[in-house]
Structure 1
Amino acid sequence: MAVKQTAGREKLGTFAPKFAELNDDVLFGEVWSREDTLSLRDRSLVTVVSLMAQGLVDSSFQYHLMTAKKNGITKAEIAEILTHAAFYAGWPKAWAAFNMAKEVWAEDETPDSAKAAHE
């Protein structure tokens, strides 16, 4: 189930109230809540790839990576998603995206799994 989003109002409410309203009520309140049509997991996948393709590897990208993880995208899946998208969106964009994804999924890597990966 989608979480009620208030970031727009919290960060831009007095500066750009209409934009904040559209962000919180329409984008997150309506579009992201249509889970009967497309799951949150799939919406996260589409959003991450869309942002990466634009080269928007910033705090919003990090937010959507964390959301993707919460919505069930695994470390192996994000690696495959970004690798696949690299061929369509651009290799340098994928490098930047991988650096941020590596941080988000870092706690999934135990010392033993990291060691095994390098053997």
Structure 2
Amino acid sequence: MAKKQTAGRDNLGEFAPQFAALNDDVLFGQVWAKEDELSARDRSLITCSALMAQGLFPQLKSHMVIAQQNGVTKDEMVALITHLAFYAGWPKAWSAFALAKEIYQD
């Protein structure tokens, strides 16, 4: 079972409580928790792919950390970024590699 997510409440709880609750309870508490459909590792790969394709690098950084915690290896993240470079764009791959190097330091 995944760790209970509190980022919504921690960052936006007082400012946007409904959004914070939806983030923590629905997105992470229900959708991410359905590991009988997709593992947390697979969801991390999918999420990182979607965020890179959209160029949402602050969120991508956070989800790369989660991906690492969910068992995605450095080699797998490198392969994901390399593959997506041809579909999402070369500059996005460069930006994603900068994040991956920071997160997957040995």
Q: Give the shorter-chain TM-score range.
A: over 0.9
Q: What is the count of residue pairs matched by the alignment?
A: 106
Deviation string, structure 1 residues 2-55 (Cα, Å, up to 9, x no partner): 110011111101111110010000000000000000000000000001000000
**1:26 correspondence with 2:26:** yes
**1:67 correspondence with 2:66:** yes
For 1:71, the aligned partner's letter is N
Q: Which residue of 1 aligns with 2:43?
A: 43
- Root-mean-square deviation (Å): 0.7
Q: State the TM-score, normalized to the length of structure 2.
A: 0.97
Give the SS at the match of 2:57.
coil
Give the SS at the match of 1:106.
coil
Q: For structure 2, which runs of at least 5 residues remain unmatched after alignment?
A: none
Q: For structure 1, which runs of at least 5 residues remain unmatched after alignment?
A: 108-119
Sequence identity (%): 61
Q: Which residue of 2 aligns with 1:17?
A: 17
Q: State the TM-score, normalized to the length of structure 1.
A: 0.86
